[in-house]
């Protein structure tokens, strides 16, 4: 479709050729020297002014230029048609009305009566007609050129006014394009080189070669890697560990220390490369519900996976197993809705600045309770607060063994909802309250129900242990408890226990 005529209609008042030939006046015996030829009729037609009975010819304008081009060509055709149209012989003697010369459209040129011989044509008539037609064609071409420019300008102006266009312009992205600091892409790009995928294979005669995949992150430039204990537990006794960085380079590693209760482990690369960049550690105590989170790991073996969410809750008491029937771990966890799946374990949970605020450790699945299962994420993930994990990692690097704060009392781990009840007796028939231990010195007895610890509500044995392990040995903590229906408070100075037993 040509854009030159798009949206432009021919005005209704444009002169049209008459349906029957106009009766010509009586021809003279010889044509006068000034008699107009069909080609020359274009000149008086264009110059003849309109009468009051007819509207004036419209002025030429860019948007209506197609009409002007049409009018420049039409009179030549109209003036020439009556010269060949037959007219009744009786009408040849009828004089033309006096007002015919003043009307619009102009009368046709004088022609001989029907059947009369044609007068001799002027010698230059063909040349003059050709020149007139050429001039008309040139005018039409010039007007058409003006139309194209006019429509192009009009369309450009319309486009500037916000009218949608179907023209699509493609261009190259700026070479200096950079992600703004604080965006997920920027944080991930900085953190990913320091997040590793851990492959653990068990040793020994039973289950040889079996293992799993987990995640860890660079803790220092010496090559220490922090992860979950349950990620490396299968390879702890005679197994093998390999650590792969996002660039594809793999390194052998060995276990420096494990803390089953905390579910934290530290590895060491046997040939640590130079230039390792430890991830910065944040302050999990200052995390607020609603803060943005970014999790990085290898869910179901898909290394270097980044997911996002928020902090959904804090201080969630979580007890999770290591997947091999070992001791449970307890944490006062950060809850997040960032997608966490098996294989994310041991990976960092980052805040919006890229600092580690937790170690992804457990998920709530729809059918298996807490722990690592093949069930997918349902938006309930739990991470060990980094303040606790940092203390454990430092202890493992120094001594290779974990140190736990204790109160010196055995509590019921099955009941929940009413607090943590001190059992009637301990393991193997030992006293439930260690003589001269922290709880005994604070005045606690078997049967007491601990309902508060350090300002946090306690509803079960696991929640009490989770809160105790957020502290260090030697910390003094206020305890709220109930005895015989009476609420009391006491201050306990935490003791310590070294190693897992």
209: CB partners within 8 A, 6+ apart: 201, 202
Which residue in the list 67, 263, 322, 337 is annotated as catalytic? 263
**What is the number of H-type helices and E-type strands within the chain?**
8, 20
Which residue in the list 202, 234, 339, 345 is annotated as catalytic? 345
Contact 462, 330 (CB under 8 A): yes
Q: Is 93 a catalytic residue?
A: no
Angle subtended by helix axes 125-160 and 65-80, to nearest 10? 160
Q: At 401, give phi and psi (nearest 5°).
A: -130, 145
Of the candidates 194, 263, 206, the one whose C-alpha atom is nearest the C-alpha of residue 237 is: 206
Tokens of 114: 């029907």
Q: Is 327 a catalytic residue?
A: no
Question: Where are the extended beta strands (E) located within 245-368?
Answer: 250-259, 264-269, 292-297, 305-320, 329-336, 348-350, 356-365
Q: Is 456 a catalytic residue?
A: no
Distance CA 281, CA 384 (A): 13
Distance CA 185, CA 179 (A): 7
Which residue in the list 42, 202, 224, 230 is annotated as catalytic? 230
Q: Which long-range contacts (CB under 8 A, 24 or more apart) does 44-53 make?
A: 44/106, 45/75, 45/79, 45/105, 45/106, 46/75, 48/104, 48/106, 50/104, 51/102, 51/103, 51/104, 53/103, 53/104
* DSSP secondary structure, 351-371, as one string: -TTS-EEEEEEEEEETTTEEE
Torsion region of 293: left, alpha or beta (phi above 0 gives left; psi -120 to 50 gives alpha): beta
Contact 215, 196 (CB under 8 A): yes
* Segment (H or E) for 498: strand 495-498
- Residues with a catalytic annotation lie at 230, 263, 345
């Amino acid at each position: 479709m040509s854009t030159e005529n798009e949206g432009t209609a021919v005005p209704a008042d444009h002169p049209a050729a008459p349906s029957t030939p106009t009766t010509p006046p009586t021809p003279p015996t010889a044509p006068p020297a000034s008699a107009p030829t069909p080609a020359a009729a274009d000149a008086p037609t264009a110059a003849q002014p309109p009468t009051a009975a007819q509207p004036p010819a419209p002025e030429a304008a860019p948007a209506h230029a197609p009409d002007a081009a049409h009018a420049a060509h039409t009179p030549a055709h109209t003036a020439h048609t009556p010269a060949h149209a037959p007219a009744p012989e009786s009408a040849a003697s009828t004089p033309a009305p006096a007002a015919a010369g003043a009307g619009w459209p102009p009368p046709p040129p004088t022609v001989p009566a029907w059947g009369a011989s044609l007068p001799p044509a002027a010698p230059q008539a063909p040349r003059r007609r050709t020149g007139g037609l050429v001039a008309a064609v040139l005018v039409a071409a010039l007007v058409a050129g003006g139309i194209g420019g006019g429509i192009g300008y009009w369309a450009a102006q319309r486009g500037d006014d916000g009218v949608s266009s179907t023209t699509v312009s493609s261009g190259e992205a700026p070479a200096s394009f950079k992600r703004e600091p604080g965006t997920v892409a920027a944080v991930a790009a900085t953190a990913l080189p320091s997040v590793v995928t851990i492959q653990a294979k068990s040793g020994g005669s039973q289950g040889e070669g079996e293992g799993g995949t987990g995640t860890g992150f660079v803790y220092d430039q010496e090559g220490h890697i922090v992860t979950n204990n349950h990620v490396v537990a299968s390879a702890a006794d005679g197994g093998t560990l390999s650590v792969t960085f996002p660039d594809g380079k793999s390194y052998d590693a060995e276990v420096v220390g494990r803390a089953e209760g905390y579910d934290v482990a530290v590895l060491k690369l046997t040939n640590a490369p130079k230039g390792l960049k430890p991830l910065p550690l944040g302050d999990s105590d200052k995390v607020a519900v609603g803060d943005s989170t970014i999790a990085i790991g290898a869910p179901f073996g898909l290394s270097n996976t980044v997911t996002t969410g928020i902090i959904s809750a804090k201080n969630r008491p979580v007890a999770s197993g290591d997947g091999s029937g070992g001791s449970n771990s307890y944490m006062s966890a950060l809850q997040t809705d960032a997608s966490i799946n098996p294989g994310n374990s041991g990976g960092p949970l980052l805040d919006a600045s890229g600092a580690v605020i937790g170690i992804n450790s457990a998920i709530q699945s729809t059918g298996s309770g807490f722990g690592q299962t093949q069930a997918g994420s349902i938006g309930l993930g739990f991470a060990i607060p980094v303040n606790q994990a940092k203390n454990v990692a430092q202890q493992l690097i120094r001594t290779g063994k974990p140190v736990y704060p204790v109160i010196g009392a055995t509590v019921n781990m099955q009941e929940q909802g009413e607090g943590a009840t001190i059992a009637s007796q301990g393991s193997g028939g030992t006293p439930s309250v260690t003589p001269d231990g922290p709880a005994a010195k604070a005045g606690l007895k078997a049967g007491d129900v601990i309902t508060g610890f350090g300002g946090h509500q306690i509803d079960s044995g696991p929640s009490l242990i989770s809160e105790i392990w957020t502290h260090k040995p030697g910390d003094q903590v206020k305890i709220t408890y109930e005895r015989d229906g009476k609420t009391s408070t006491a201050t306990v100075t935490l003791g310590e226990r070294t190693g897992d037993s």
